[in-house]
Chain A
Amino acid sequence: MNQTSNPVRRTRAFFTVYFKEVRENLRDRRTIMTALITGPLLAPLLFVMMLNIGLNRELDKAEKPLKVPVIGQQYAPHLFEALRAGGIVAGPPIANPEEAVRNQDADVVVRVTPDYPKSWRKGEPVQVEVIFDSSQRDASTAVERVSGLVDAYGHQQGAMRLVARGLSPSTAWPVNVARRDQATAQARGVLIFGLLPYFFVITMFMGGMYLAIDLTAGERERQSLEPLFANPVARWRIFAGKLAAICTFSAVSLLISLIAFSVVGHFLPIEKLGMELELGVRFCLTVLVMALPLIVLLAALQSMVAAFAKSYREAQTYLSLLMLVPALPSVLLMALPVKPQEWMYAVPLLSQHLGVMRVLRGDGVTMHQMLFCLGGSALAALVAVLVTAQLYRSERLAISS
């Protein structure tokens, strides 16, 4: 009987656990689907579809002829001539414009009253009604276009009247607003891409989630954890192997997602809006490096939650709730746009969010910020790993009933 196991070989226990978990999970269709296909690819696809639809709609409305129902066209032929030159096609009048706008039958309706020609001839101010519903965000482009054209027509006519009276048009408008937008083309793109960091975190989370459940709650439920712990391997080594497997799936998920985003980024019509996005190799590498400690942190947290749960289903429920936590920084920063402070780069999740946004803007991350980001997240990951390893030592962990 063999009584001497080579102690050197026991250090291989970590790799034995790691490769077994990876191999076993590569055979699981659901894990593969979530970690390698739907998780990492769904977000980029959704993103592109949303953006494309949104952008194309905006572009369409800005360039294409816009059909607007008009009431009282016969009273102001010159006005509508000017609108037509601006791409507004006058549609047939409708009976109840207020209701049509509220029901979204029309984005905007223009109404001119019958006393328009009389007032116009007398040189009195006339009214052109633009009827719309500001709670319909979809309509705002159309509303702005119509009001802009009406305004411009008014200015033009006013200027002509002044000239006819021998005055300079500038007497009527002594102050002009000169708008100077300092946003770079890249920075404008960021407005739309504010959700990107959250997508990345969700991808990492989804990539490791099924493994984290399977390797603790699942293994206990299937009653294989007790025999596993009867082997002459310290529990922390087993945990380390499992944790590494979770991290691998999570990292591969993120990598696939990043690659998908950079490929797909080329097909976005963002340059039409005067925006620019940096989604190249440098972007992918920076995001990946910043995400590394976060991957460990998430994997440890997931294992911790799964170890607490009494069953596979319970673990699934808890983890779905935990998934909402990474959304907080992204949502908070979108709701309250605060100026990023240096200390924020030391907060896990928040730092990755800020970092991704900086790289997207083309500003790049400074060495200092990167160190803060890696250090802060690594510290949090270490604490989470140690707590979970401690949890693994509990007698109760292995026992399913």
Chain B
Amino acid sequence: MIEVKNLHKAFGTVKAADGVSFIARDGEITGLLGPNGAGKTTTLRMLYTLMKPDQGQVLVDGIDAAVDPLAVRRQLGVLPDARGLYKRLTARENIDYFGRLHGLDEAQLKARREALIQTLDMTDIGDRRTEGFSQGQRVKTAIARALIHDPRNVILDEPTNGLDVMATRALRQFMRHLKDEGRCVLFSSHIMQEVAALCDRIVVIAHGRVVADETPEALRAQTGETNLEDAFVKIIGSEEGLAA
């Protein structure tokens, strides 16, 4: 479970996060929806302790990120916005590197890695160097290395960015699979279709603030719109930066 309480973060005069609070529960998919530049990436970066909030608190499975950032990172599997691979290493070697950094022993590492390669359907690319991988193959590898330590909480920053239809479908399937395993899945997106199709709970962010935090049904009811797209536009107050 990930709890975010009143996060503030400013870069100069720009307030990227201005009092963000929400809860992402285990066994649920929580979607962080907002237009480009709303503060989604900055919020997520504070969750996985890459950045320190100016104010506010992050709790992951009850651990305070400000007190024990290493323990928090151990509870998290992260697919950041930046998902560069080591192109001179094979997909397996990329995954192993992160597994060893998580302190897995070789037997654990092998079992877990092979299971992920099966689930993510990447047996054909496992021993290829990642140079020249397609966008979809790259995302798969990045997800496999992010989940190598079997984390209870999974954070994905715009995971379907740049993927084609087939790869997107496969990824959504995989996220449901993670939810069914009882994990807490938190992902960000600026694509309404995606959030609507996947989420148990939607947190809408605009201008660094949470403007809604509901189930998709409640959102529709709250805004009086039957169409989710219209509901979002009404909540955010403009259509800028959103994609259908």
A residues engaging B (CB < 8 A)? Answer: 1-3, 5-7, 9-10, 12-13, 16-17, 20, 23-25, 27-28, 219, 222-234, 395, 398-400
Contacts and interface: CB of A to CB of B under 8 A. Distances in A.
Nearest to B129: A27
Interface string B105-141: 1001000000000000000000000000000000000
A226 B82 contact: yes
A22 to B, nearest CB: 12
B86 A24 contact: yes
A232 B89 contact: no
Contact of A1 (B78, B81, B88, B152): B152
A24 B93 CA distance: 10
B70 interface: yes
Interface stretch (B96-104, B161-169, B208-216): B96-104
A177 B88 CA distance: 70
Contact of A5 (B102, B142, B145): B102
B156 to A, nearest CB: 12
A224 B84 contact: yes
Contacts of A3: 75, 152
B183 to A, nearest CB: 7
Name the 10 nearest CB pairs between A and B, nearest first.
Answer: A223-B84, A224-B84, A223-B82, A9-B103, A232-B73, A226-B82, A5-B103, A222-B84, A230-B78, A231-B101
A24 B102 CA distance: 19
8 contacts: A1-B150, A13-B100, A20-B89, A222-B84, A226-B80, A227-B83, A233-B70, A399-B82
B52 interface: yes
A24 B89 contact: yes
B86 A1 contact: no
Contacts of A13: 100-101, 103
B50 interface: yes
A20 B78 CA distance: 21
A234 B152 CA distance: 21
Contacts of B145: 227
B19 interface: no
Contact of A20 (B48, B97, B149): B97
Q: Which of A7, A227, A400 lies at the interface centre, i.e. has the most chain B CB atoms within 10 A of its CB?
A: A227
Nearest to B51: A395
A28 B82 contact: no
Give the contact-size bracket for chain B: 35 or more
Given A1-B183, A2-B108, A16-B101, A225 B73 contact: no
Q: Which of B149, B151, B181 lies at the interface centre, i.e. has the most chain A CB atoms within 10 A of its CB?
A: B149
B85 interface: yes
Interface in B166-192: 181-183
Nearest to B97: A20
Given A13-B101, A225-B84, A232-B73, 8 more contacts: A1-B181, A12-B100, A13-B103, A20-B93, A25-B88, A226-B80, A227-B146, A398-B82
B181 to A, nearest CB: 8
Given A225-B82, A226-B80, A226-B81, A5 B88 contact: no
B68 to A, nearest CB: 10
Contacts of A399: 50, 82
A366 B168 CA distance: 69
A1 B153 CA distance: 10
A12 B103 contact: yes
B44 to A, nearest CB: 10
Contact of B88 (A27, A226, A228, A398): A27
Interface in B58-83: 70-71, 73-76, 78-83
B82 A233 contact: no
Contact of A224 (B71, B86, B149, B181): B86
Contacts of B82: 223-227, 398-400
B86 A234 contact: no
A232 B65 CA distance: 12
B145 to A, nearest CB: 7
B82 to A, nearest CB: 4
Contacts of B181: 1
Nearest to A224: B84
Given A1-B183, A10-B103, A229-B50, A234 B70 contact: yes
Contact of A233 (B78, B101, B142): B101
